[in-house]
Chains A and B, each alone.
Chain A
Amino acid sequence: MSDISSPTSRTGTWTRASGDMPRAVLVLAALVAALAPLGLNEYWRFVASMMLIYTLVTLGFNILLGYLGQLAFANVAFFGVGAYAATIAMNGGLNFIPGILVGGIGGGIAGFLVGIPALRIRNYQLAIVTLATGELLRWLYIHGGSITQGSSGLEVPPMTLAGLQITTEIGKYWVFLAFTILCLAVTRNLLRSSVGRAIVSVRESEAISLGLGMHAAGFRILAFVWSGALVGVAGGMYACLLGRITPESFGLTQLLVHFSMVMVGGLGSFVGSIFGALLLTAIPETLRNFPGLEEIVFSLLLILVLRFVPEGIGGFLGARISGLRDRFFGGKP
Chain B
Amino acid sequence: MKRMTAILAAALVAVANPAFAEPGVGEDTIRIGIFAPLTGSASIFGRAAFGAEAVYNEVNEKGGIHGRKIEVVREDDGCDAARAISAVRKLTAQDDVFLIHGGVCSGTVMAVRDDLERQNVPFVILGAASAGIVKPFKKNLFQPIPNSDVVATQMVDFAMSKPGTAKIALISHTDEWGETNSRVATEHLKKAYGLDISLKLALERSTTDATPQILQLRNAQPDFVLAMLYPAETALLVRDAHKFGMTTPILGNFGVSLEDTRDRVGDMAAMANFYTFYAYEPALSSAEIEPWTKMITKYFPDHRADTFSYEAMGGALAVIEALKQAGPDLTRDKFIAAMESIKDFQSGILNTPITFSADDHAGVNGGAMIAYRDGKPTVLKTWSE
Binding site for B on A (CB under 8 A): 41-44, 46-47, 50, 142-143, 145, 149-153, 155, 167, 169, 238, 242-246, 248-249, 253, 285, 288-289, 291-292, 294-295
Q: Which residues of B contact A47 (CB under 8 A)?
A: 86
- Contact of B347 with A by CB under 8 A: no
* Listed A/B pairs (30) with beta-carbon separation below 8 Å: A41-B93, A41-B94, A42-B89, A43-B94, A46-B85, A46-B89, A46-B93, A47-B86, A142-B176, A145-B176, A152-B107, A153-B111, A155-B114, A242-B81, A242-B85, A243-B114, A244-B81, A244-B110, A246-B107, A248-B79, A249-B80, A249-B81, A249-B82, A253-B80, A288-B90, A289-B75, A291-B39, A291-B76, A292-B39, A295-B39
List the B side residues contacting A153 at CB < 8 Å: 81, 107, 110-111
Task: A228 to B114: give the CA distance in the assembly, Å.
Answer: 31
Given contacts A41-B94, A43-B93, A242-B111, contact A152 B132 (CB under 8 A): yes
Report how far A41 CA is from B96 CA in the complex, Å: 11
Q: Known: A42-B92, A142-B176, A153-B81. Is A246-B86 also a contact (CB below 8 A)?
A: no
The answer to whether residues A42 and B82 also contact, given A150-B175, A150-B177, A244-B111 and a CB cut-off of 8 A, is no
- In the assembled complex, the Cα of A292 lies from the Cα of B110 at a distance in Å of 25
Given contacts A42-B89, A288-B90, 17 further A-B contacts (CB under 8 A): A43-B90, A43-B94, A46-B93, A47-B86, A142-B175, A152-B106, A152-B110, A152-B176, A152-B177, A153-B107, A238-B82, A244-B81, A244-B114, A246-B107, A248-B107, A285-B86, A291-B38
Q: Give me the interface of B with A, judged by CB distance under 8 Å.
A: 38-39, 75-76, 79-82, 85-87, 89-90, 92-94, 106-107, 110-111, 114-115, 118, 130, 132, 174-177, 179
Q: In the assembly, what is the distance between CA of A155 and CA of B130, in Å?
A: 16
- Min Cβ gap A202→B in Å is 35
Chain B residues near A152: list those with CB within 8 A: 106-107, 110, 130, 132, 176-177
Question: Do A248 and B80 have beta carbons less than 8 Å apart?
Answer: yes
Q: Among A50, A150, A248, which residue has its beta carbon within 8 angstroms of that of B81?
A: A248
In the bound complex, how far is the Cα of B38 from the Cα of A288, in angstroms? 11
Q: Are B175 and A143 in contact (CB under 8 A)?
A: yes
A295 to chain B, nearest CB (A): 7
Chain B residues with Cβ below 8 Å from A150 are 175-177, 179
> Does B87 contact A288, Cβ atoms closer than 8 Å?
yes
Interchain CB contact (< 8 A) of B176 among A50, A151, A248, A292: A151
A153 to B90, CA, bound (A): 23
Q: Is the CB of B39 within 8 A of A151?
A: no
**Cβ of A42: which chain B residues have Cβ within 8 Å of it?**
89, 92-93
CA distance A67 to B271 in the complex (A): 56
Most B CB contacts (10 A, CB to CB) among A42, A50, A150, A167 go to A150
Closest CB-CB distance, A133 to chain B, in whole Å?
Answer: 18
**Interface centre among A43, A47, A253, by most B CB within 10 Å?**
A43
Interface of A is mostly: helix
Q: Are A288 and B76 in contact (CB under 8 A)?
A: yes
Instruction: Judge whether A149 and B176 touch: CB under 8 Å.
Output: yes
Q: Which of A42, A142, A155, A248 is packed against the most chain B CB atoms within 10 Å?
A: A248
Q: Contacts of B89 on A, CB cut-off 8 Å?
A: 42-43, 46, 169
Give Cα A153 to B109, complex, Å: 11
In the complex, what's the smallest C-beta–C-beta distance from B96 to chain A, in angstroms?
10
User: A292 — nearest CB in chain B belongs to which residue?
Assistant: B39
Q: Which of A46, A246, A285, A294 has the most CB of B within 10 A?
A: A246
Distance in angstroms from B268 CB to nearest chain A CB is 32
Chain A hits for B107, CB < 8 A: 151-153, 246, 248
Q: Which residues of A contact B177 (CB under 8 A)?
A: 150-152
In the assembled complex, how far is the CB of residue A140 from the closest CB belonging to chain B, in whole angstroms? Answer: 11
Which among B38, B39, B87, B89 has the greatest number of chain A C-beta atoms within 10 A? B89
Chain B residues with CB under 8 A of A238: 82
CB closest chain-A residue, reference B88: A43
Q: Which of A243, A248, A285 contacts B115 (CB 8 A)?
A: A243
Q: Which B residues are CB-close (under 8 A) to A248?
A: 79-81, 107
Contact A243:B85 (CB < 8 A) given known A43-B90, A43-B94:
yes
On whether the beta carbons of A151 and B175 are closer than 8 Å, the reply is yes
Most A CB within 10 A of own CB, among B82, B87, B130: B82
A41 to B23, CA, bound (A): 15
How far is B179's CA from A237's CA once the two chains are assembled, in angstroms? 30
Chain B residues with Cβ below 8 Å from A46 are 85-86, 89, 93
Most central of B38, B81, B174 by chain A CB within 10 Å? B81
A291 to chain B, nearest CB (A): 5
Q: Which residue of B lies closest to A154 (CB)?
A: B110
Q: How far is the CA of A245 from the CA of B108 in the complex (A)?
A: 10
Interchain CA distance A151-B76 in the complex, whole Å = 20
Minimum CB–CB distance for A227 against chain B, Å: 21
CA distance A169 to B88 in the complex (A): 14
Report the minimal beta-carbon distance from B358 to chain A, rounded to whole angstroms: 25
| Residues of chain A within 8 A of B76, CB atoms compared | 288, 291
Cβ of B111 and Cβ of A243 under 8 Å apart?
A: yes
Q: How far is the CB of A333 from chain B (nearest CB, A)?
A: 32
Residue of A149, A288, A294 with highest tally of chain B CB at under 10 A:
A288
Q: Which of B75, B94, B111 has the most CB of A within 10 A?
A: B111
